[in-house]
Structure 1
Amino acid sequence: MALSQLTIVSPTNAIQKIALSYEVFGPALGTAPVVVVNHALTGNSNVAGLNGWWTDLIGECKTINTQKFTVLAFNIPGNGYDNEPKNLVVNLKNFTTQTIARYYWTALTALEVKQVYAVIGGSLGGAIAWEMAFLEPNRIQHLIPIATNYKASDWLIGNVFIQESILNNSKQPIQDARKHAMFLYRCPAGINAKFKGDFLADKNEYKVENWLRFHGESLQNRFKLAAYKAMNHLLKTIGASKQESDLKSWAQTFTGKIQLIAVDSDLMFTEAEQNQTFQTIRSFSKSEFATIHSIHGHDAFLIEFEQITKIIKKYF
């Protein structure tokens, strides 16, 4: 689909304006229920179609059927997908997931979308979905955060710190940061099953080393350093000002349904912490909890489409 842009005023700086880019799949806005799909750290607004990163879930006659729903996906400002220089994030101080959620609501209002049928996203995208729900508890019918949580854990913040150190000090920052990140996105069982200790004699390296090198070089070819720094920074801002008491208070005001989805092998947002969130809100909200069983770790939200479909199909 064509990439569109909307100029909006920054919610943190009335002088600053940003060009928020987005894509629409399916019926035109205003003609069908709207499903907002939020992308993850290195993702973008291209969620469906030939090269869409969630094309197994979104499209004609698929789980999120673009014959019935209008799918709207924004680009996080500064992710580089729109090649918009003015969106380059230099000062990260006020660049938070809550800020991004405010951008999205400002854009939705400008697009005359008063009610959103569903907000769904995995990882960072799911965290932004949480932030959107906190800001507007009466405008979302279905909140579906996958492999994420409403608040960053110390484990996640520590890994973001390591990523920052690599990005600021390495001679090949994106490549090296991505190599580290891949082991946070996966898990030991999946890595061991995938490579089985194989050694590539012609390259004089282990297959797992070759795989990490490939992912590092691939990201280097499609991502700018400033963009990676900004997206990585967002992870540690998730729910920065929120406590469990805030979550309880919010759950009593949220009028929609909540479907939490965890991955049992997730090292980035553990199943245990997501289940704790569910236990906190279940008495105050219409909420359900489901687990994806996978050896692929955090990345299961990009891989286990059959399991995700079984969980979310009842909403679509």
Structure 2
Amino acid sequence: MESIPNPIILQNFTTESGVLYNLLPLSFALFGLPLHTAPVVLVNHALTGNAQVTGENGWWNDLVGEGKTIDTNKYSVLAFNIPGNGSDSFSIENYQDFVARDVARIFLKGIETLQIKELYAIIGGSVGGGIAWEMLALAPNITKNLIPIATDWKSTDWMIANCFLQEQILNNSSKPIEDARIHAMLCYRSPESFKEKFQRTINQDLLIFNIESWLAHHGKKLQQRYQLSSYKLMNQLLKTIDITRNSDDFETLLSKTPAAIHIIAIDSDLFFTPKENLETYNELKKFKENVFYSQINSVHGHDAFLIEYKQLDNLLAAIF
């Protein structure tokens, strides 16, 4: 079962930077059992994703659905569209108005509006996982399980640097979405992944390297279905993940939550590195019992959370 109800309209929302939005539509999708009849799993989408996590065009069909790890016969699965992500008619022109925590606050207001008292789990990869961290820091009792995948509670200098380059491309290129996507693919994959896939082969039709035609293809594909304003906004969110920004320190924030935290890293992730994830885990272990760390082994880098679903399946089986 799937329903895409009318959006929730948030009134008089002030962002962390002090900008007032009189009306902010929050569209969402529901899958599986009706709300208030089963435990609720919130799935936060990544940069080019949306609320369509399963079903036709579902970007996480391998993981969410009937008889899948997150079984829609057992759970109510809820997914919000990040306002301005391009999946509805609402767009945000001043992307710098927002930081990741604003989206966490918006999602929490959505949950409150839907009268959900507690979630069974919040799961998200990449920027969606960063927003999940921000939600837990703001509302320590909101969920029983936090499952951040290929992400962290803060954007590192490396992440900020790559997002800065993305922003330069998006603001200055004559083909902004295509060029930014080509750079982003280098962050989402790994040198080993490219080596395994392309082996320095030549595209005989175009007389260029296959890696080049593949990157160009990904650029064009995104350009056809994605809005520039959405890309700028999502990149800004990726750059501004930090639960401690203008707030308490890491330990103060996370010692308040009873939630179990299941950190899942990817051994070849060049974007949110496993080293950072391990540091987060070790930091949490100093003051919290129910913290778990596991790793996806893959040559595919950051994108492995969308590719290695069998491993992810095994890692999540115990929770679901």
What corresponds to 1:211 in structure 2?
214
Q: 1:34 aligns with which of 40, 48, 51?
A: 40
Query: How big is the shift at 1:91?
Result: 2.2
Contact 1:47–1:58 (CA under 8 A) maintained in structure 2: yes
Distance 1:244 1:17, change over 3 A: closer
| Matched residue type, 1:59 | G
Contact 1:152–1:240 (CA under 8 A) maintained in structure 2: no
Q: 2:173 aligns with which of 165, 170, 175?
A: 170
Query: How big is the shift at 1:251?
Result: 2.4
What corresponds to 1:47 in structure 2?
53
What corresponds to 1:309 in structure 2?
313
Aligned counterparts of 2:89 and 2:260: Cα–Cα separation in 1: 36
Q: How does 1:262-281 map to 2 (within 5 A)?
A: 262-281=265-284
Q: How does 1:15-30 map to 2 (within 5 A)?
A: 16-30=22-36
The TM-score, its normalising length taken from structure 2, stands at 0.95
Q: 2:152 aligns with which of 149, 161, 167?
A: 149
Q: 1:56 aligns with which of 58, 62, 65?
A: 62
Aligned counterparts of 2:88 and 2:34: Cα–Cα separation in 1: 21
The TM-score, its normalising length taken from structure 1, stands at 0.96
Query: How big is the shift at 1:130?
Result: 0.3
Secondary structure of 1:89's partner?
A: coil
What corresponds to 1:222 in structure 2?
225
- Identity among equivalent positions (%) equals 46
Query: How big is the shift at 1:207?
Result: 0.7
**Hey, which bits of structure 1, 4+ residues long, moved more than 6 A?**
none
| Matched residue type, 2:300 | H
Aligned counterparts of 2:113 and 2:176: Cα–Cα separation in 1: 38
Matched, 1:296 2:300: yes
Query: How big is the shift at 1:2?
Result: 4.1
Contact 1:144–1:259 (CA under 8 A) maintained in structure 2: yes
Query: How big is the shift at 1:282?
Result: 1.2
Contact 1:118–1:141 (CA under 8 A) maintained in structure 2: yes
Q: 2:9 aligns with which of 7, 10, 16?
A: 7
Query: How big is the shift at 1:93?
Result: 3.4
Q: How does 1:186-205 map to 2 (within 5 A)?
A: 186-205=189-208
Aligned counterparts of 1:64 and 1:240: Cα–Cα separation in 2: 27
| Matched residue type, 2:302 | H
Query: How big is the shift at 1:250?
Result: 2.0
Deviations 1:99-144 (A, max 9, x none): 0000001010000001010000000000000001001101210000
Aligned counterparts of 1:192 and 1:240: Cα–Cα separation in 2: 36
Deviations 1:25-44 (A, max 9, x none): 00111111000000000000
Contact 1:35–1:119 (CA under 8 A) maintained in structure 2: yes
Aligned counterparts of 1:166 and 1:118: Cα–Cα separation in 2: 36
Any unmatched runs of 5+ in structure 2? Answer: none
Query: How big is the shift at 1:204?
Result: 1.0
Contact 1:121–1:146 (CA under 8 A) maintained in structure 2: yes
What corresponds to 2:131 in structure 1?
128
Q: 1:254 aligns with which of 240, 253, 257?
A: 257
Aligned counterparts of 1:134 and 1:162: Cα–Cα separation in 2: 29
| Matched residue type, 2:285 | R
Any unmatched runs of 5+ in structure 1? Answer: none
| Matched residue type, 1:94 | D
Tell me how large the CA RMSD over aligned residues is.
1.5
Matched, 1:101 2:107: no
Query: How big is the shift at 1:89?
Result: 1.5
Deviation larger for 277-286 or 52-61: 277-286
Aligned counterparts of 1:200 and 1:90: Cα–Cα separation in 2: 39
Deviation larger for 240-249 or 73-82: 240-249
| Matched residue type, 2:122 | V
Secondary structure of 1:149's partner?
A: coil
Aligned counterparts of 1:54 and 1:246: Cα–Cα separation in 2: 33
Aligned counterparts of 1:191 and 1:117: Cα–Cα separation in 2: 38
Deviations 1:69-109 (A, max 9, x none): 0000000000011123xxx2222333011000000010100
What corresponds to 1:237 in structure 2?
240
Aligned residue-pair number: 313
Matched, 1:112 2:118: no
Query: How big is the shift at 1:3?
Result: 2.8
Aligned counterparts of 2:128 and 2:23: Cα–Cα separation in 1: 22
